[in-house]
Amino acid sequence: MKKVRIISILLVAILLLSMIPGVGAQDEELPDIGTIKVGYIPILGFAPYFVALERGYFAEQGLDVELELFRSGDPMIAPLSLGQLDVGGGETGPALINAFNQGLDVRVVGSLASQPAGFGAVPLLVRTELIESGEVTSPADLAGKKVAVNILRGNAEYLLARALEQGGLTIEDVEMVSIPFPEMPQALANGAVDAAILPHPLAGRALGDGSAQVLLNGDEIVEGAQNGVIYFGQRLLQPENREIGVRFLVAYLKAARDLQDEEGFTFRTNDEVVSAIQTWTNVPEPAIRNGVAYFFDPNGVINLDSTADVVGYHIANGYTEASEIDLDALIITDFLEEALERVGEFEPPVADAAEPAATEEVEG
């Protein structure tokens, strides 16, 4: 009788454990495809990738991840579709739209950084000399000026266009100059450009040395802008490698949640998080701690309204082969849904900053 009771207790314990999110998932055999190559840009918008790597969340999921530097999201698309890169991130730009239109194996699987109210991490900066002289006081005054973006036809151009609209201008009214983000602070300092769309923490350099000032914060340009999304490429989209993709997002979600704290969706109080960002952006820790935060949705939710606006901008300007695109087909949610089953839904610590404006769950 005693033996029967012990067996019954064990069975109940096993049943209870099976009801805990994620328990048992780690026992599933992981396909051996070698190193998971992940594209990144050295800006705060990729912080969850940096944190997941440095805090061991990828390793915890049995993933050997290697980060590869890119100038923007668009150049990641071709290697993703060829299986030379497994994960990327960035704008829903022309390269992604065209690849999808051509039937190539690249899809959006979750959100990266966004800019709801209070999270204007990608400001429009203007040289201090121009602001203090009164030559530039609003976007309308940028007519004829040199403005830096990291890549033409990318997310920075989209944000610049929306900022210029506030002054009755278009991108045709300024001289856009393509400069990698890390080189923009110096370009502002030496007068090579007059203004720049520059994300934090790199923006902190130009603000810290006094060479530039904020004309518009990112959330003043487009509130709720979905600056970045997560891309999966050919290898992770293969059914036999699905478990790898799910585990990647499990690690990502854990890292995104590390970017939340009692002050509400910031990262400044966590030394390990700040160190991870510093390692991969090469920006001094004070600039990171004093910079403006992005919002990283802790459940990976994408702002569909913003994404549709970005895609619409590229289509309207003739940057894409397609005249329209089916976002429900471009964005697939099953990887994220399974990852959330394992880690559970996250309840934001600050109610009034919990959700980006006009955000809805993505339906796949």
Using DSSP's 3-state secondary structure scheme, residue 47 falls into helix
CB 151 within 8 A of CB 74: yes
Supply the mean pLDDT for the chain.
88
State how far the alpha carbon of 79 is from the alpha carbons of 82, 108, 128, 235, 247, in Å. Answer: 5, 15, 40, 11, 21
State how far the alpha carbon of 7 is from the alpha carbons of 1, 15, 122, 334, in Å. Answer: 10, 12, 59, 37
DSSP letter for 173, please. G
CB 202 within 8 A of CB 181: yes
* Secondary element (H or E) of residue 203: helix 202-208
Q: What is the pLDDT of residues 298-341, one digit of tens each?
A: 999 999 999 999 999 999 999 999 888 999 999 999 999 999 99
Q: Which position has the token pair 């160190």?
A: 275
Spatial separation of the C-alpha atoms in residues 73 and 108, rounded to whole Å: 12
- Tell whether the model's pLDDT for residue 349 goes beyond 60: no
Structural domains of the chain sorted by starting position, each given as residue range(s) with its CATH number in brackets: 28-117+225-353 (3.40.190.10), 124-216 (3.40.190.10)
Bridge-based pairing of strands 124-127 and 212-216 is antiparallel
Characterize 288-308 residue by residue with b for buried, 16 or more Cβ atoms within 10 angstroms of its Cβ, and e for exposed.
bbebbbbbbbbbbbbbbebbe
Torsion of CA 183, 186, 192, 193, to 10 degrees: 70
Q: What is the pLDDT of residues 83-120, one digit of tens each?
A: 999 999 999 999 999 999 999 999 999 999 999 998 89
Q: What is the pLDDT of residues 246-297, one digit of tens each?
A: 999 999 999 999 987 555 555 677 889 999 999 999 988 888 888 888 899 9
State how far the alpha carbon of 238 is from the alpha carbons of 11, 81, 105, 293, 302, in Å. Answer: 36, 12, 9, 35, 23
Spatial separation of the C-alpha atoms in residues 59 and 65, rounded to whole Å: 8
Q: What angle do CA 11, 13, 19 make, to 5 degrees?
A: 105
State how far the alpha carbon of 192 is from the alpha carbons of 145, 186, 187, 310, in Å. Answer: 11, 8, 5, 28
**Euclidean distance between the first and the last CA atom of the chain, given in angstroms as a whole number:** 52
Q: Which position has the token pair 């210029």?
A: 164
Q: Which position has the token pair 């919002």?
A: 295
pLDDT of 266 reads 57
Pick the more confident residue, 45 or 26. Answer: 45
If pLDDT is split at 50, 70 and 90, which confidence band does 359 have? very low
Q: CB within 8 A of 354, min separation 6: which ones?
A: 348
Average pLDDT over residues 225-230: 95
Spatial separation of the C-alpha atoms in residues 241 and 239, rounded to whole Å: 5
Spatial separation of the C-alpha atoms in residues 145 and 186, rounded to whole Å: 17
Task: Give me Rg for the CA atoms of the chain.
Answer: 22
**pTM to 2 decimal places:** 0.84
